[in-house]
Amino acid sequence: MHYTLTFVHEGYGRATSFGNLFGDTYIDTPSPYGNTTRRANATFVILARNSDLEGTVQSIREIEERFNRHFQYPYVVLNEQEFTANFKERISVLTRAKVEFGLIPHDDWFQPEWINEDKAAAARTQMVNENIIYGGIVSYRNMCRFNSGFFFKHQLLLPYKWYWRIEPDVHFHCDIPYDPFVFMEDTNKVYGFTITMYEFEKTIPTLWRHVLDFIKAHPEYIAQGNSMGFLSGNSGKTYNLCHFWSNFEIADMDFWRAPAYQAFFDYLDRQGGFYYERWGDAPVHSIAAGLFAKKEQIHFFNEIGYEHQPYTHCPRDEAVWRRGKCSCDRTQSFDYDGYSCLRKWT
């Protein structure tokens, strides 16, 4: 379930870096959302397998140290197989917060019966021959489809509105002395990110065509003041491949549960692209947030230092970096990399 992104294909390679990509315009999140008694209706969400135990321990220890020991938000940990008693014990001891372990329903995880397996297998073989990362892996596709359309419907998550997605083997490099959930709630945000980059086009060759078909069929779902300018350089004729890297998300599950996204996901799912191609939850979530929300409802968490190999977001502003006691090298932040889409967002 957890797949460390190593970008073995040259299309995922690190593009030429350049240091002066942005002006000094970062504004960190306002401070009235500190360690008060108020809490949002929120939880952390972790997808992990039993084999991800050590990486999950690491991630939880770091988010506890940097944030949650002060705020005590609960955790929901999901797996398509039952967790072992050892896994549950090792995770539960790390926090005073509530921890729940859930089994993903079979039909929410595994490849649907209506998928033409011969067609899907041929597509996987072709991707393997073209050296496309995860091109031959069915379980990766299961994960992307689950994250796109089902996790927020899980019985353990239905009581919650907000979630913060965490994966095994990630790092949180800066102290977070305020509550991002309360900030999102009070400022009418629906989606927050730390890293944005280009998708590998060969994994989603027909996705944008289907997005345009959906827009044509459902113009009522498109928000005024949306982020089409981030997704496309020609008013939507083509997709520029920019997306928010969804292994970090702080977002509103009611946004995914709403009619616009439900109709969007159901339409995409019927096209079979999660299996006939290799559609990821990152472009699916990003396109949906970019179209169905106002741009002002999407937030860049500059001050949250975050690392998922091989990329790190580190605050550039020295005052923010020092205030957060950040352990990352701010001169090496992925924000400045040519493969980053942050310049298109800002």
Q: What amino acid positions are annotated as catalytic residues?
A: 249
The H or E element containing residue 99 is: strand 99-103
Q: Are 192 and 180 in contact (CB under 8 A)?
A: yes
Integer Cα distance of 44 and 306 in angstroms: 15
> Residue 185's CB: how many other CB atoms inside 10 A?
18
Q: β-strands 75-79, 99-103: how paired?
A: parallel
Q: Is 154 helix (H, G, I), strand (E, B) or coil?
A: coil
> Residue 47's CB: how many other CB atoms inside 10 A?
23
Q: Is 166 helix (H, G, I), strand (E, B) or coil?
A: strand
Q: Are 144 and 151 in contact (CB under 8 A)?
A: no
CB burial of residue 329 (10 Å; 0-12, 13-18, 19+)? exposed
Which residues, 6+ apart, have CB-to-CB distance to 37 below 8 Å? none
Residue-wise DSSP of 179-207: -HHHHHHHTT--EEES-EEE--GGG-TTH
Q: Are 78 and 46 in contact (CB under 8 A)?
A: yes
Tokens of 306: 């975050």
Residue 247 identity: N
Q: Are 283 and 224 in contact (CB under 8 A)?
A: no
Q: Are 173 and 302 in contact (CB under 8 A)?
A: no
Tokens of 28: 């960190």
> Residue 297's CB: how many other CB atoms inside 10 A?
21
DSSP 68: I
